[in-house]
């Protein structure tokens, strides 16, 4: 593993991944909206920033948000707001899809590689026992389907690649600060180490699947 691209590199998990990969001696490229003007929701911005890049041994799409424009997750479907739901899909589903549309040039064809899209366990339909958070849940379920579909297509040309959805667990970042009293959380550095370990153990036969930070497969 020599070359790495982290998209969303200024966020809590993204910046920790940059640091941990660099500590392992990797050549790390990083993209973020705050530093590079990379807007994952804009097709032209994605195309401009990804043009001529690659191939990479690891690509991690670490973009996303639980709250957008001050809209908190809905407690029930009665609180659904169309604009808030559209914003969730734009950032958490369409954004990664736009990145994946360039995966054919970001990944090598002649050696093993991993492309991981950070998802969330709440995007699992089979694991949903409590309801609530419908916009965020639905956007993450959508990105799981997008990642799975892209993996099927890329396997035809990139036979050594593993393209996966990856649940990082609850991580202590500004992203989760308001919700840490509900779930145990780990520091971003520990989460990054966990995710890197999962990616390092993957094989091409596991492409298109959904894993958590321990390497356990998550039900769709």
Task: Write out pLDDT tens, residues 165-189.
Answer: 999 998 876 655 565 556 677 899 9
Full-model pTM = 0.93
Q: pLDDT (tens digit, 9 = 90+) per residue, 88-127?
A: 999 999 999 999 999 999 999 999 999 999 999 999 999 9
Question: What is the tally of structural domains in the chain?
Answer: 1
Report the pLDDT value the prediction gives residue 143, as an integer from 0 to 100. Answer: 98
Q: What is the mean pLDDT of residues 128-147?
A: 97
Q: Rounding to the nearest 10 degrees, give the CA dihedral for residues 195, 200, 201, 206.
A: 80
CA-based end-to-end distance of the chain:
29
Residue 217 domain flag:
no
Report the pLDDT value the prediction gives residue 89, as an integer from 0 to 100. Answer: 98
Q: What is the mean pLDDT of residues 79-90?
A: 97
- CATH, residue 191: 3.40.50.720
Residue 132 domain flag:
yes
Residue 110 domain flag:
yes
Sheet holding 210-212, edge to edge: 27-31, 3-7, 58-61, 113-118, 161-167, 210-212
Task: Give residues with Cβ within 8 angstroms of 118, minimum separation 6.
Answer: 8, 13, 60, 61, 62, 63, 64, 165, 166, 167, 168
For the chain, the 3-state helix, strand and coil shares in percent, each to the nearest 5, are 45, 15, 40
Q: pLDDT (tens digit, 9 = 90+) per residue, 189-217?
A: 999 999 999 999 999 999 999 999 999 99
Report the pLDDT value the prediction gives residue 185, as an integer from 0 to 100. Answer: 73
Residue 218 domain flag:
no
Confidence of residue 52 (pLDDT cuts 50, 70, 90): very high
Q: Which domain holds residue 101?
A: 3-212
Residue 175 domain flag:
yes
Residue 161 domain flag:
yes
Residue 88 domain flag:
yes
Residue 20 domain flag:
yes
């Amino acid at each position: 593993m020599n070359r790495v691209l982290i998209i969303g590199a200024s966020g809590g998990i993204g910046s920790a991944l940059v640091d941990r990969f660099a500590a392992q001696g990797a050549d790390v490229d990083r993209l973020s909206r705050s530093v590079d003007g990379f807007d994952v929701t804009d097709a032209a911005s994605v195309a401009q920033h990804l043009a001529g890049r690659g191939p990479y041994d690891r690509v991690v799409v670490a973009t996303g948000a639980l709250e957008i424009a001050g809209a908190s997750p809905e407690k029930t479907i009665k609180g659904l707001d169309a604009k808030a739901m559209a914003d969730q899909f734009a950032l958490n589903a369409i954004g990664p899809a736009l990145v994946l549309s360039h995966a054919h040039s970001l990944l090598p064809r002649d050696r093993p590689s991993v492309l991981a899209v950070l998802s969330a366990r709440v995007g699992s339909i089979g694991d949903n026992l409590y309801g609530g958070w419908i916009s965020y849940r639905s956007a993450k379920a959508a990105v799981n389907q997008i990642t799975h579909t892209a993996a099927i297509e890329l396997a035809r040309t990139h036979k050594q690649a593993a393209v996966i959805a990856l649940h990082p667990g609850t991580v202590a970042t500004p992203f989760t600060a308001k919700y840490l009293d509900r779930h145990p959380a780990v520091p971003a550095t520990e989460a990054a180490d966990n995710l890197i370990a999962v990616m390092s153990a993957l094989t091409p036969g596991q492409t298109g699947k959904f894993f958590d930070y321990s390497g356990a497969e998550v039900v769709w």
